[in-house]
Amino acid sequence: MNVKGNLIEIEASIEEACKQFGRDRSNVQIIAVTKYVSIDRTIEAVEAGITHLGESRDDGLLKKWDELNHKVAWHFIGSLQTKKVKKIIDKVDYIHSLDRLSLAEEIHKRSSKQINCFVQVNVSGEESKHGIHSNEVIDFIHKMKDFPNIRVVGLMTMAPFTEDQQVIRECFRNLRLLSLDVQALTLPYAPCLELSMGMSNDFEIAVEEGATFLRIGTSLVGKEF
Ligand SMILES: *Cc1c(COP(=O)(O)O)cnc(C)c1O
């Protein structure tokens, strides 16, 4: 397990996808997802050049934050329980899992500044998935005007669990189309220019379909627990 080596390989794939699809590499940000690894492995990632870290649990975030807070940007990527908001809100730069009004209300209430949020979308409509259904996203985003501490920087999704690359591609493509619909509203609190999509197994497709933030765990930092 060598984070630097993994990063070099991932970087090459991202550059290739950018080149083929006419994208500027500087518009794609890697978030190293460290939920399955220790602080030591996380430090190794930062030393390898990672500047954005993602965690999906409050305790994981707090531990790593204490060690590394000033060195990186912090992303909360997992489903977020309303009662956990106050523990993490001052520590995170982005929340990727805004998926209900009660959560928006709590983020707004607990934060002293604007928080960059991604609205999580259940593009595939699978029962088991978190996120707002595509046809409800526009309504939901309009409602964010009541919560001035929420800034909708973009949309986030997780691809369906399948080997079928075409199905994954459609999912990412639909998220991008939806983000264009939101952009067209020109809401000051919802610029919606970012797309958080792509994980270890599908980040190349995500780059091809317009991802601006990739959430990469296992293939970058491995899995220790
Ligand atoms: C764990 C997780 C990831 C990273 O998954 P890998 O397959 O390990 O790259 C990305 N996004 C979310 C929301 C996650 O919970």
Atom of ligand 1 nearest to the CA of 96: 13
Chunked into runs of 10 residues, the chain (225 residues) has average pLDDT values of 96 98 98 97 98 97 95 96 97 98 98 97 88 97 98 97 96 98 98 98 98 98 96
Q: Considering only CA atoms, which residue is closest to atom 5 of ligand 1?
A: 217
Q: How far is the CA of 158 from the centre of ligand 1 (A)?
A: 9
Of 121, 215, 216, 224, the one to substitute when testing ligand 1's pocket (max ligand atoms within 8 A of C-beta) is: 215
Q: How far is the CA of 189 from the centre of ligand 1 (A)?
A: 27
Q: Considering only CA atoms, which residue is closest to atom 6 of ligand 1?
A: 217
pLDDT on residue 128: 80
Q: Which CATH number describes the domain made up of 3-221?
A: 3.20.20.10
Contacts of 22 (CB under 8 A, 6+ apart): none
pLDDT on residue 56: 96
pTM to 2 decimal places? 0.98
The DSSP call for residue 159 is -
Output the CA torsion sign for 70, 199, 60, 86. positive
Contact in structure between 76 and 118 (CB atoms under 8 Å): no
Q: How distant, in Å, are the alpha carbons of 17, 113, 132, 170, 171 from that of 164? A: 19, 41, 23, 10, 11
Closest CA to 152 of 203, 180, 101, 188: 188
Q: How far is the CA of 185 from the centre of ligand 1 (A)?
A: 30
Distance CA 10, CA 5 (A): 9
pLDDT on residue 43: 97
Output the CA torsion sign for 14, 212, 95, 90. positive
pLDDT on residue 127: 83
pLDDT on residue 193: 98
The structural domains of the chain, with segments of one domain joined by +, span 3-221
Distance CA 149, CA 211 (A): 25
pLDDT on residue 17: 98
pLDDT on residue 124: 85
